[in-house]
């Protein structure tokens, strides 16, 4: 793995919410890490007519809101942050970059982070090329926020435009779910522990459920979301990533391409999706934690057929997983914010402790919690004290916070990987296209979504997909 090198981190969309809430705090905290050094400058780029002082003042507000000591914020912003307005012409940006690199003694290493609406990805990349910013004495790295296209055709077009200017080895498609500790730990959990890897097969596992639940509605994203929906926004990206990491084979070696090769194999092994085994929903007015919230149509200001929740059953046609259903579910205005992978193991072929025993034997269940309260728990059956053979189910639990204290934010982890040149947690071009190919049949023609009350776990039809097993954490 590469080590930290002095560089300039250029953030397009520096006046936006992502930069304020996630990127600026991540930059600050990375600078406090031992080994990351101090020779890093951040150049914010946006259309707003700000100067350095305005940007630094806005950044200081964001950092203080993120819980960073106000006494340290002003000096850091003054030392590390600059701003350049860009509105179509990239030549002033090129001049400003040259000035910062010269005065700061930087060798020409540059990261370009596109915290932008997807419609301006391609013009921004082309602008970098025209201004000569994609060439130079140091390395170049391009970071692209999702969504990576709107469908398969647009994803291919975007990849083509990117590759006209940047080599795939220079491209970092960021999915913040892959920066979460529990997602990364899934590789360690599986491949460093023979106990679980030996049981990670169709012979031992009955079903896998992956849920990404959100309390929030569309809020200020209504314009984007109404043209996307849950299938594009979450199923094709976050849930597809969690599915590949859960189902992948051991890589030949622990490096970025070997791991991503195995993830692509999972997507290529997925059986064509059956729209009859998919459920679409849209929230109507209800309440979250006792507070009334409006319905989706009220938030977007008009009736809409866009789904805010989707659940689907998929199968991986491989030697390891043949016949095991993977149930994927996501939705907005669910009762709680929670992302989990739930693995239900098969019951013994012959049960000595059937329904006649109080608290009869239940299948072992492994719950990997991605957010919040990252960790995992494993349920096992035990005998209750006293006469007879009464059973009870207990859990073994591991919590990252309890064991290690506060863990880094996902963006902090991912930005660090960009800086050192590690692509393991980033999505490769073929992976993007394969994911779109899998779920595109759901985009073309799906029924109008069923209504579900905000604060519930989605349409009633979702429960039937899980069979005898309740969707966690509903049961």
Contact indicator for 359, 393 with CB cutoff of 8 Å: yes
| Consecutive H or E run containing 278 | strand 278-284
From the number of C-beta atoms within 10 Å of its C-beta (0-12, 13-18, 19+), residue 171 rates as buried
Distance between CA atoms of residues 214 and 220, nearest Å: 15
Taking the chain, what is the end-to-end CA distance rounded to the nearest angstrom? 43
229: left (phi over 0), alpha (psi -120 to 50) or beta: left
Q: Are strands 450-453 and 7-12 parallel, antiparallel or unpaired?
A: unpaired
Place of tokens 């919410």: 17
Residue 379 φ/ψ, nearest 5 degrees: -95, 140
**Count of beta carbons in the 10 Å neighbourhood of residue 353:** 17
Mutual orientation of helices 240-247 and 429-439 as an angle, nearest 10°?
Answer: 110
Contact indicator for 54, 92 with CB cutoff of 8 Å: no
Contact indicator for 68, 75 with CB cutoff of 8 Å: no
From the number of C-beta atoms within 10 Å of its C-beta (0-12, 13-18, 19+), residue 154 rates as middle
**Count of beta carbons in the 10 Å neighbourhood of residue 468:** 8
Active site residue 163: no
Among candidate residues 80, 150, 238, 469, the one labeled active-site is 238
Whether the CA torsion 408, 411, 413, 416 is positive or negative: it is: negative
Contact indicator for 341, 368 with CB cutoff of 8 Å: yes
Cβ within 8 Å of residue 160, ≥6 positions away: none
Distance between CA atoms of residues 446 and 429, nearest Å: 27
The CA–CA distances, whole Å, from 366 to 274, 346, 385 equal: 27, 12, 25
Q: Are strands 7-12 and 375-383 parallel, antiparallel or unpaired?
A: unpaired
Positions marked catalytic:
238
């Amino acid at each position: 793995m590469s080590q930290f090198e002095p560089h300039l981190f250029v953030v397009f969309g520096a006046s936006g919410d992502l930069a304020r809430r996630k990127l600026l705090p991540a930059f600050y905290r990375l600078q406090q890490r031992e080994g990351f050094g101090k020779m890093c400058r951040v150049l914010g780029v946006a259309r707003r007519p700000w100067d350095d002082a305005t940007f630094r003042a806005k950044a200081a507000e964001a950092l203080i809101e993120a819980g960073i000591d106000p006494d340290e914020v002003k000096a850091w912003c003054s030392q590390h942050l600059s701003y350049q307005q860009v509105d179509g012409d990239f030549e002033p940006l090129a001049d400003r970059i040259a000035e910062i690199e010269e005065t700061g003694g930087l060798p020409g290493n540059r990261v370009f982070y596109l915290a932008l609406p997807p419609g301006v990805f391609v013009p921004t990349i082309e602008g970098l090329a025209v201004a000569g910013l994609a060439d130079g004495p140091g390395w170049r790295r391009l970071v692209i926020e999702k969504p990576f296209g709107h469908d398969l055709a647009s994803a291919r077009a975007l990849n083509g435009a990117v590759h006209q200017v940047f080599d795939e080895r220079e491209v970092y498609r960021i999915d913040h779910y892959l920066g979460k500790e529990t997602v990364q730990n899934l590789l360690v959990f599986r491949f460093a522990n023979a106990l679980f890897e030996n049981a990670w097969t169709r012979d031992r596992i009955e079903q896998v459920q992956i849920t990404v639940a959100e309390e929030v509605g569309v809020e200020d994203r209504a314009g984007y979301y109404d043209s996307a929906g849950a299938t594009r926004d979450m199923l094709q990206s976050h849930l597809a990533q969690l599915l590949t990491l859960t189902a992948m084979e051991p890589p030949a070696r622990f490096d970025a391409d070997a791991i991503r090769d195995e993830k692509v194999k999972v997507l290529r092994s997925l059986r064509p999706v059956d729209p009859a085994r998919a459920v679409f929903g849209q929230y109507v007015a209800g309440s979250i934690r006792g507070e009334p919230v409006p319905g989706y149509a009220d938030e977007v200001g008009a009736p809409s057929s866009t789904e805010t929740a989707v659940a689907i059953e998929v199968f991986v046609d491989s030697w390891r997983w043949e016949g095991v259903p993977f149930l994927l579910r996501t939705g907005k205005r669910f009762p709680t914010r929670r992302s989990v992978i739930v693995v239900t193991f098969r019951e013994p072929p012959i049960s000595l402790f059937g329904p006649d025993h109080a608290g009869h034997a239940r299948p072992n269940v492994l719950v990997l919690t991605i957010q919040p309260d990252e960790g995992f728990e494993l349920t096992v059956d035990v005998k209750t004290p006293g006469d007879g053979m009464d059973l009870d189910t207990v859990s073994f639990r591991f919590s990252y916070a309890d064991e290690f204290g506060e863990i880094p934010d996902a963006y902090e982890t991912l930005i660090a990987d960009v800086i050192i040149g590690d692509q393991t947690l980033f999505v490769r071009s073929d992976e993007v296209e394969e994911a779109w190919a899998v779920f595109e049949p759901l985009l073309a023609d799906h029924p109008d979504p069923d209504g579900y009350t905000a604060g519930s776990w989605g349409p009633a039809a979702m429960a039937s997909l899980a069979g005898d097993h309740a969707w966690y954490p509903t049961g």
